[in-house]
Amino acid sequence: MAVEVRVPTILRKHTGNAKAVQASGSTVREVVESLDSEHPGLREAIVTEGGDIHRFINIYLNDEDIRFTGALDTPVSDGDVLSILPAVAGG
């Protein structure tokens, strides 16, 4: 499945400064792997060594937070938009 991935500024150093890139896969996990093969370093920025999404990264598949749809095992469809959104947080 071909997916558009929207990349936040902090991660654009991995994409040649592109704010959106194409990737493929049938789950979010596969899309992240596909992204990393084209843009090394992106997976590490999104997923911990333990295989979970980093605590301060939100990932939306279209309008759904993937934490509530199966996390990295969330299925994706052709034409979906994956948005990587670092948290806006502090104290």
Partner 1 sequence: METFEIPEAMVADMVAHAQAEYPSECCGVIGGDGDGPRKLFRLRNVDPDPVMRYAADPKELKRATDDIYDADWEIVCIYHSHTHSPAFPSPTDVERALYPEAVYALVTLQDRQNPELRAFRIVEGTITELKVVRT
Nearer Cβ to partner 1, position 75 or 86? 86
DSSP 10-41: GGGGGTTT-SEEEEE-SBHHHHHHHHHHHSTT
Site residues for partner 1 per CB under 8 A: 6, 8-10, 19, 56, 58, 60, 63, 65, 83, 85-91
Nearer Cβ to partner 1, position 17 or 51? 17
Taking the complex as a whole, how short is the minimal distance between the CB of residue 6 and partner 1, in angstroms?
6
Nearer Cβ to partner 1, position 31 or 53? 53
Dist CA 57 CA 78 (whole Å) = 23
Taking the complex as a whole, how short is the minimal distance between the CB of residue 69 and partner 1, in angstroms?
13
Neighbours of 86 (CB within 10 A): 15
Dist CA 41 CA 43 (whole Å) = 6
